[in-house]
Amino acid sequence: MTKNQVSITAAEQVNEERLLDLFLELAKINGPSTKEQLVADYLMKVLPELGFTLEFDEAHKNFDGEVGNLIAWREGTDSTIPPLFFSTHMDTVLPTEGLKPVIKDGVIYSDGTTILGADDRAALASYLEAIRALIESGVPHGPIEFILTVNEQPGLVGATYMDYSKAKSKTGYIFDSSGDVGQIILKGPYSSRIWMEVGGNAAHIALNAEEGNSAFLIAAEGLLNMKLGTIDEETIANIGVIEGGELTSIIPGAITVGGEVRSFSKEKLDKQLERMAKAMKDAADKNGGRVTVKFEKKYSGFDIPRDHILTKTVEKASNNIKVKPYLTETLGGADTNVLNENGLTCITLGNGFQNIHSFREFISVENLINTGRLTAALIEQWYENHKQA
């Protein structure tokens, strides 16, 4: 890009007031997980106006959702540039119906009666504004693709069932992290659930208690012998579900115990799952009970090199907009895990929302605006990197 081609960059063209208004408009569109049709309707109107062609897959048929994942494609001014995608999810963890936004001291909140939905309407609004800024600035660029998933919040479900044959690009970014803009997450975890069906003998506490063998007590002993929480610097484990029992007067004969393990190491994840299973099996054997264990994969880990073009591009683009980039890793999951597993190389970037999944959720106006500016800067820098190659 030369001075003769453009007089202003796309990042500089990002309109702060327009982006803020757009975010508030999107946040008010009610679209909890599996109920994203209203969000899709909005995008079906807006994206073609920005030069995108749209295609939906049928992922939602796997989980009784309203609409599938949306893949949107925009031709670039230079078709020799490899396409670049930006991804986020269309759903929020809870409804935003009746959202009343409050802006105080440069920070956007809800009024405390709903979530804000910054996770991840902040990214969606920023992507749309970045494209508007790109068009208005006239900067040259390659093809752009949006991969907008559904039903992300319950466990990356939409991305898991996505029809990846519809995606034309192979590399991209996902703004979906609580870190301030400039955060670059190169490494994400493997994750699996563990389900343990613990059995004893049901009996009435007053009529035949001697025949009872409490599944709760067996499970309690197993849990006390499990190491949970931080296992090592790469691995965490948790028990989050205990279900069972019939009546307060009945010694429970069967309960379900569910947990999760995350680790940067697949080997460590598998070993921790086996240790948890063994602790429960030992307790059942000791107390005349029984246990059936099932492992359920959630997603695979990813590890993007420091010298990858995606990493270099976002570091340079961040510096271009005077935001300090920093590399990190997270044990949190995102669509990034699933997309990487399915052949789309991508990095998670911070966009600064806080206290997500609660009525105390907020995002600073600065982080919102910087997400839009960095999105535009990434498109510009991606073009520059490939023109110089």
Q: What is the DSSP letter of 234?
A: T
Residue 66 known to be catalytic = no
CA neighbor of 141 nearest in space, from 81, 182, 54: 81
Options 152, 335, 361, 384, the catalytic residue: 152
> Helices in the chain by DSSP H: which ranges?
10-13, 16-27, 37-49, 118-137, 157-160, 215-224, 266-286, 309-320, 335-341, 365-388
Cis? peptide before 120, omega within 30° of 0: yes
Q: Is 19 left (phi over 0), alpha (psi -120 to 50) or beta?
A: alpha
Please say whether the dihedral angle defined by the alpha carbons of residues 71, 336, 158 and 368, taken in this order, is positive or negative.
negative
Kindly compute the dihedral angle of the four CA atoms of residues 310, 315, 319, 324, in this order, to the nearest 10 degrees: 140
Question: Rounded to a whole number, what is the distance in angstroms from the first to the last CA of the chain?
Answer: 14
Which member of 36, 91, 129, 315 is catalytic? 91
Does 260 qualify as catalytic in the annotation? no
Residue 163 neighbours by CB under 8 Å, 6+ apart: 57, 58, 59, 69
**Which residues participate in catalysis according to the annotation?**
91, 152
